[in-house]
Copies of this chain bind each other. A is one copy, B any other.
């Protein structure tokens, strides 16, 4: 089953914004059994949109259009659709009511530009009635046209929740497909690939999507029936899990912080963190998760030495003898935050994120991570690659993954590729 994507926006052809939504859509659709044959990216240009649209609606059973639905005067997608399909633009009362309600909620003055967003080609069916976002389906001859906002978050929500289910209903794919994404931390893409290359065959495809420091693998199985596709997927998953077991931290929508949060909730246990070079990143990731207040008690970002002394009771002597980036300081930070917060566990991080501050003995990327639990307190030294931001991301991810490995496998000192002998 083949289709096309028409991505509209001056910013996309001027290289100001990456066309990530088309990339995600092509990927998600491919994994759902739909092949995208053309991705056309053009500016907010009425004539050009009409030319491409009139070709695409003849050629494909479905077309996904993104962008140009906003309130500003450069947004012309609705007009282009109406003129191409020879349909009048009509004010959609439901959409207008939503826009006015939202203006009222937010205490905004009515804005005629915003109301333009309710003028849709006749027959357009809004894709969502519950969320304040543009997006509609319109049928033309044998073609389903999905018009989505260019805003990535809204585009992805509608793609996943509305477009793919509607495609499955109206244009069921010829082969059954079963697919799952595994999330891995601690292995390299090329090493995973080397181990898995014999697993791929005509009906089993593996996609590699590095999201550093994580690697995401999408495994897609085809079959004559749902059962066959499902069975083929499960067999492959069994082999992959046997190979990479503890490196796999989750699947599909999981994040490391959601997995850790779920484990802590289930066990009724609590966590506190003491961060230096990660600067609050671990606490911030943990508290992105709804309900984290039930297991996350507190965090401290002890950037200065004085803060480590004041807030964590690290001794001045320890900092002077061993330095802020040392095993002794990492242990004292983990013990200090756990002692004052009385949580089940604590994590501590102290290191050199760069770009300055490195030395031959402690180069940029050197990070000590400490972990304290009822069994005791331990610390390990790591050397992470990349720039400041990547070192911070690696350190935060490793700390969270360490806790996950302890909660899942009881491993007090898990092994990682980035461990450094200090």
Determine the interface band of chain A, counting residues with CB < 8 A from chain B.
35 or more
**Alpha-carbon separation in the docked complex, A209 to B71 (Å):** 13
Which B residue's beta carbon lies closest to that of A18? B23
In the complex, whether A184 has a CB less than 8 A from a CB of chain B is no
Among B39, B40, B194, B292, which residue has its beta carbon within 8 angstroms of that of A12? B39
**Alpha-carbon separation in the docked complex, A17 to B311 (Å):** 43
Residues of chain B lying within 8 A (CB to CB) of residue A50: none
In the complex, whether A301 has a CB less than 8 A from a CB of chain B is yes
In the complex, whether A161 has a CB less than 8 A from a CB of chain B is no
In the complex, whether A88 has a CB less than 8 A from a CB of chain B is no
Among B20, B210, B292, B298, which residue has its beta carbon within 8 angstroms of that of A300? B298
Among B12, B30, B292, which residue has its beta carbon within 8 angstroms of that of A279? B292
**Alpha-carbon separation in the docked complex, A416 to B19 (Å):** 32
Q: When A26-B14, A36-B13, A218-B16 are in contact, do A297 and B290 touch as well, CB less than 8 Å? A: no
Interface residues of A in 319-376 (CB under 8 A from B): 340-341, 354-356
Residues of chain B lying within 8 A (CB to CB) of residue A288: 279, 388-389, 392
Binds B, one of A105-113, A229-237, A399-407: A105-113
Among B15, B18, B23, B72, which residue has its beta carbon within 8 angstroms of that of A193? B72
Among B26, B71, B188, B299, which residue has its beta carbon within 8 angstroms of that of A190? B71
Which B residue's beta carbon lies closest to that of A14? B30
In the bound complex, do residue B15 and residue A23 qualify as a contact, i.e. CB atoms below 8 Å apart?
Answer: yes
Residues of chain B lying within 8 A (CB to CB) of residue A210: 151
Which B residue's beta carbon lies closest to that of A112? B194
In the bound complex, do residue A15 and residue B25 qualify as a contact, i.e. CB atoms below 8 Å apart?
Answer: yes
In the complex, whether A70 has a CB less than 8 A from a CB of chain B is yes
In the bound complex, do residue A37 and residue B48 qualify as a contact, i.e. CB atoms below 8 Å apart?
Answer: yes
21 examples of A-B residue contacts, CB within 8 angstroms: A11-B218, A15-B28, A15-B29, A15-B31, A16-B209, A18-B18, A19-B19, A22-B41, A38-B41, A70-B208, A73-B197, A106-B385, A111-B190, A151-B210, A277-B287, A279-B296, A279-B299, A290-B355, A297-B303, A297-B304, A307-B341
